[in-house]
Structure 1
Amino acid sequence: MHTVGRRLGIATSVIAVAAALSGFQDPDTPPGWSSYTIDQGKHGALVGSPAGVSGPLAGWIGSGGASRTYDFVLTPSSEYVLTSPTQPEDQFDWNKLPGFSDCGDVDLARNGAMFGWRWRIDTSPHRLEVVPYANADGVHQYPDSALVTLSHDDLAAKEPLRYSIEIDGALYRFAIDGTVRGRAVHESATLPRSCPTHPTNGGKWYAGFYFGGTSTAPSQIVGYIREPAAQPGADDPGGTGSAGSVGSIAG
């Protein structure tokens, strides 16, 4: 279990008021899933959902609940390199996975919880890092070390992980579970919440897949999401509930 305190971050704020846009579904999207596509030069993602699939949560929900759980695949397109960053350190900014605003705010950059991700080109080998990420009255919070790291081969396997964020009084509880190339992933962490007495099921803005930080995507980035997450079956070696393997979608 990783528990992290409140700190200032280097990442700039996510634009929570930008709604997810409808777009064409990525042709490699697995059956029953939706795709997120961040085009070159953009921050926000287009959403593509097949017929009969409601797709990921998006926009303002008046009774937003106290948690969000989804299955997500980060693909090799996430191995980005900024050649003309807006600011010199933008390669190290945290991009965002889906999350929600909190404390009555519509703006996740002020109050909200999500996961952050980035591609590290200063390591050998290069790697993708995922962290719990929350904003508390505008203060960025995330740990000094990654909760989960993924290599190029891990991304190429296109195996989903289950991401969960839950409000628990004065805390956000984060969890990442699944299996990547035979490696079990079961990681959790907490971050402080700025409004411990605010109702947990109040209105929330549900955000999507986002690039930045300050720079826009230098190339097209595609991810796949299934929300609500499918529950593991009896044959799933990971067990029941939100923990455990959610299978592979690699063809």
Structure 2
Amino acid sequence: MRNLLLLTLLGLLGLHGCEVPSGKPEDPTAPVTTLYTIKAGNNYADHNDLSFTAKTTLSFRVTFDSSAVYTNKTTENQYDINKLYGFSDCGSQHNTASARFGWNWRDKALRIYAYCYRNGERISEELGTVELNKPTDYQLSIVGGNYIFTFKGKETTIARGCTTVQSNQRYRLYPYFGGDEVAPHDITISITEIN
């Protein structure tokens, strides 16, 4: 009888325990990681819904895996810069005014770039390389009439085409392959926005 009472009591406690959520409630301000996939034969990544932001700084962590290693069909296209993450600017379309990081696989290294459009003119500057499977931090800021790209502790400044700082017309720019060619195989990129 005592064992039956004990089992009944444990059963009731177990059922009651199922009703109480375990752990802490989810923190809505906690960083969210998104795994973007650019499917073979495509340019655009999934998870690229239109998203406006008034932020003037994007801080994020990126991990590239071995899927970032590729060979273009046309040799000179290996120099094309794929797009990583950033935003449009100046209340314009991104091919008129924008800033984002870019990347490509060239000479056995994954190279990172500052990549901008200023009044429709494309501007890029190589910033360095990253290791595969190693999370790396990036920051892109609007400071007055400039974009500040921070990569591996080094700041690179590129002039903007406007001086407007606050704008609710700025939209996020997501991973994109190309250039002139589409992704030769599925490419996955992990991005965690940390601000």
TM-score by length of 1: 0.61
- Specify the alignment match of 2:183 in structure 1: 217
Report deviation, 1:195: 0.4
- Specify the alignment match of 1:89 in structure 2: 76
- Specify the alignment match of 1:111 in structure 2: 97
Report deviation, 1:33: 2.4
Runs of 4+ in 1 over 4 A off after TM superposition: none
- Specify the alignment match of 1:98 in structure 2: 85
Contact 2:91 2:167 (C-alpha < 8 Å) held by counterparts:
no
AA aligned to 1:219 is: H
Q: Do structure 1's residue 175 and structure 2's residue 146 form an aligned pair?
A: no
Secondary structure of the corresponding residue to residue 40 of structure 2: coil
Contact 2:102 2:115 (C-alpha < 8 Å) held by counterparts:
yes
Contact 1:114 1:132 (C-alpha < 8 Å) held by counterparts:
yes
* Structure with greater strand share of residues: 2
Contact 1:58 1:207 (C-alpha < 8 Å) held by counterparts:
no
Q: Do structure 1's residue 164 and structure 2's residue 150 form an aligned pair?
A: no
Report deviation, 1:40: 0.5
Contact 1:58 1:205 (C-alpha < 8 Å) held by counterparts:
no
Secondary structure of the corresponding residue to residue 78 of structure 2: helix
Contact 1:36 1:209 (C-alpha < 8 Å) held by counterparts:
yes
Contact 1:117 1:129 (C-alpha < 8 Å) held by counterparts:
yes
- Specify the alignment match of 2:157 in structure 1: 190
Select the residue among 60, 66, 70 that pairs with 1:80: 70
AA aligned to 1:59 is: L
Report deviation, 1:202: 3.5
Whole-angstrom CA distance in 2 between matches of 1:94 and 1:205: 20
Contact 1:167 1:200 (C-alpha < 8 Å) held by counterparts:
no
| 1:157-197 Cα distance to aligned partner (Å, 9 max, x none) | x1211111110111000112xxxxxxxx322201110002x
Cα RMSD after superposing both structures: 2.0
AA aligned to 2:60 is: Y
Contact 1:35 1:222 (C-alpha < 8 Å) held by counterparts:
yes
Identity %: 30
Report the count of equivalent residues.
Answer: 165
Whole-angstrom CA distance in 2 between matches of 1:101 and 1:166: 12
Q: Give runs of aligned pairs for residues 203-242 of structure 1, distance below 5 A.
A: 203-227=169-193, 229=194
Secondary structure of the corresponding residue to residue 179 of structure 2: coil
Whole-angstrom CA distance in 2 between matches of 1:166 and 1:226: 17
Contact 1:98 1:206 (C-alpha < 8 Å) held by counterparts:
yes
CA 1:113 to 1:58, structure 2 compared with 1: closer, same or farther past 3 Å?
A: farther
Whole-angstrom CA distance in 2 between matches of 1:58 and 1:162: 23
* Structure with greater helix share of residues: 2
Secondary structure of the corresponding residue to residue 141 of structure 1: strand
AA aligned to 1:175 is: T
Whole-angstrom CA distance in 2 between matches of 1:109 and 1:80: 25
Whole-angstrom CA distance in 2 between matches of 1:67 and 1:202: 14
Q: Which consecutive unaligned segments of at least 5 residues does structure 1 have?
A: 1-31, 48-56, 177-184, 231-251
Whole-angstrom CA distance in 2 between matches of 1:132 and 1:93: 13
Indicate the structure (1 or 2) with the bigger Cα radius of gyration.
2
CA 1:46 to 1:35, structure 2 compared with 1: closer, same or farther past 3 Å?
A: same
- Specify the alignment match of 1:26 in structure 2: none
Q: Do structure 1's residue 142 and structure 2's residue 124 form an aligned pair?
A: yes
Whole-angstrom CA distance in 1 between matches of 2:51 and 2:129: 31
